[in-house]
Amino acid sequence: MLKTLIKLPFKVALMPLKLVLQAAGVLSRDDEGGRADRPASRPPPPSSGSYEPPEELEVPQDLEVQAGDVLAKVRDGAAVVLVDVREPGELASSGMIEGALHIPLRDLPRRYEELEPGAEVVLYCAAGMRSFDAAMFLRDKGFDRAHSLIGGLPGWTAGGGELVPM
């Protein structure tokens, strides 16, 4: 009896903590209302038959384009809209392709309507990753001739393209 009387204040003091832990599923209830030694039971994981992997992102075959191909089109007088999706600070440090529009990737969702959906649009950045995302975004918006420049600006200059300082 004495042992029970000594434990009682501790049980009462720890009751709010116990309730919180039970609500969080850390503790399970036992018949005596004391702390159980096992965690609360959790639902079993889904069976392998019910798992559906996320849809594969379908990348169009012609999404990426080589700098040499773009340079040839530009030199032949084809109407190609070049769009630089880099941040303003990047332009200042490395320049940009002459005649290109500057629409940073973060601004593209609100500024893509400045572009003509039927035009051939070639997007570029520093290495080709952001322009890839930008081209996928434009394709999703109906720009069937949007392309990402493979290799970004280094690919452009390696292919013989020039940059103008900013």
CATH number at residue 98: 3.40.250.10
Instruction: Let me know whether 74 and 153 are in one domain.
Output: yes
- Give how many domains the chain has, as a whole number: 2
How would you classify the pairing of strands 80-84 and 64-65?
Answer: unpaired
Per-residue pLDDT of the chain (166 residues; tens, 9 = 90+): 555 545 555 555 556 656 555 655 655 454 444 444 555 566 665 555 665 656 666 778 889 999 999 999 999 999 999 999 999 999 989 999 999 999 999 999 999 999 999 999 999 999 999 999 999 999 999 999 999 999 999 999 999 999 999 8
> Which three-class secondary structure string do you get for the chain?
CHHHHHHHHHHHHHHHHHHHHHHHCCCCCCCCCCCCCCCCCCCCCCCHHHCCCCCCCCCCCCCEECHHHHHHHHHCCCCEEEEECCCHHHHHHHCECCCCEECCHHHHHHHHHHCCCCCEEEEECCCCHHHHHHHHHHHHCCCCCEEEECCHHHHHHHCCCCCECC
Q: What angle do CA 22, 40, 27 make, to 5 degrees?
A: 35
Domain-located, residue 59: no
Distances from the Cα of 14 to the Cα of 8, 26, 145, angstroms: 10, 15, 66
Q: Are residues 150 and 110 in the same domain?
A: yes
Q: Are residues 82 and 35 in the same domain?
A: no
**Does 73 lie in the same domain as 13?**
no
Q: What is the dihedral of CA 17, 21, 24, 26, to 10 degrees?
A: 170
| Cα–Cα distance measured from residue 130 to residue 124, given in angstroms and rounded to the nearest whole number | 8
Q: Are residues 37 and 73 in the same domain?
A: no
Model confidence, pTM: 0.66
Residue 77 sits in the same domain as residue 152: yes
